[in-house]
Amino acid sequence: MKSTLFIIGLLCTLAGLIALFVFALKIIAYILLAIGFVIGLIYLVYKNKTND
């Protein structure tokens, strides 16, 4: 569960960066980056709370 969430966040972030630099779709890129960033934060907090 945790690793899947992390991978989804990573993919969203990468997709956002690609959209930003390659296609210059700024609005979509910022949304994807925000989603990836939030998922990453949730993952880090969840990982630190469980400690496994």
Q: Is 47 within 8 Å of 20 (Cβ atoms)? A: no
Provide the pLDDT for residue 24: 66
Residue with tokens 């959209």: 19
- How far is residue 48's CA from residue 19's CA, in Å, rounded to a whole number? 31
pLDDT band at 47 (very low <50, low <70, confident <90, very high): confident
Q: Which amino acid is at 32?
A: L
Provide the pLDDT for residue 46: 77
Query: Which is higher by pLDDT, 40 or 50?
Result: 40
pLDDT tens digits for range 1-44:
567 777 777 777 777 777 777 766 777 777 777 888 888 788 77
- pTM of the shown model: 0.48
Q: Is 5 within 8 Å of 39 (Cβ atoms)? A: yes
Provide the pLDDT for residue 50: 66
